[in-house]
Amino acid sequence: MFTTISAVVLAGVFAASSAAYGALAQKRASTAFENPASGGGSMFVDTLNGLGEPLNVIISGLSSPEVLNEDGLINYAKAIGFSTECFGIHLGDPFPANLGDGHGPVNQTVELRQDFGSSGVGTCLESLIGGNHFRVYFQNGPSANTGAAFLAVSKEKSVSDHHDIVTDGYDIGRDALVSAAVGTHDFGGKTYVTAAENITGLMAVGSQGVNHGIAVDGIVTLLTVTVQ
């Protein structure tokens, strides 16, 4: 009798636990992101000069959870050709963004640069000659806790040109990152599969209010990253 009762109790506990886990997983995966404007935020980073740079790529909150944190996103970035800054040195002020999640303006979590095939020292080359780079912001506040990562991507000039953005550099940077990301990539013992979808209507087309007076096409690319 003890065995029968124990089995029934354990089965009930397992069923309840499974149901609770399923509910949790469903809640966590309920939305890809929330429009920052809905919570008083913006799809533009504040560049501290009255202008902004576009948050033109979003890593969906429906992605595998291990991608949606700083360490996990850095490992993913290394799989698609980006890495942390040269010797961990960051020049220039961090830029804040308000993702409308209840946190208000928050400085970038991390800035990552094109590594030219070397995750160890390649970003030193990017710092010298220019290339693609992006700032990362997580939408994880009390009013919009989607876990999505918003990226401000742009292609920049060399250090001798003060790392200014190249002509059409926001759209070019976005497209280059997306091209590098889509498909299957490996790094650090992880295999990532990335799918992309273009979204319009989140930001205006044109150069009004955009840093350096560089026009944007209004497209934001949503990446969904699955760890296999």
pLDDT at 4: 39
Strand partners, 44: 54
pLDDT in tens, 128-173: 766 899 999 999 999 999 999 999 999 987 665 556 799 999 999 9
pLDDT in tens, 10-67: 344 333 333 333 333 334 448 999 999 999 999 999 999 999 999 999 999 999 999 9
Alpha helices for the chain (secondary structure H): 2-28, 70-79, 122-129, 169-181
Q: How far apart, in whole angstroms, are the C-alpha atoms of residue 21 and residue 217?
A: 41
Residue 49 C-alpha from the chain's centroid: 23
100 DSSP assignment: S
CB atoms within 10 A of CB 188: 12
Burial-class residue 164 by CB neighbours within 10 Å (0-12, 13-18, 19+): middle
Residue 117 tokens read as: 């095939």
Q: How far apart, in whole angstroms, are the C-alpha atoms of residue 92 and residue 186?
A: 31
For the chain, the farthest-separated pair of C-alpha atoms sits apart, in whole angstroms, at 81
Burial-class residue 22 by CB neighbours within 10 Å (0-12, 13-18, 19+): exposed
pLDDT at 162: 56
Percent of residues, the chain, with pLDDT higher than 70: 78
Task: Tell me the pLDDT of the chain averaged across its residues.
Answer: 85
**Residue 206 one-letter amino acid:** G
- Altogether, the residues listed in the chain come to a count of 228
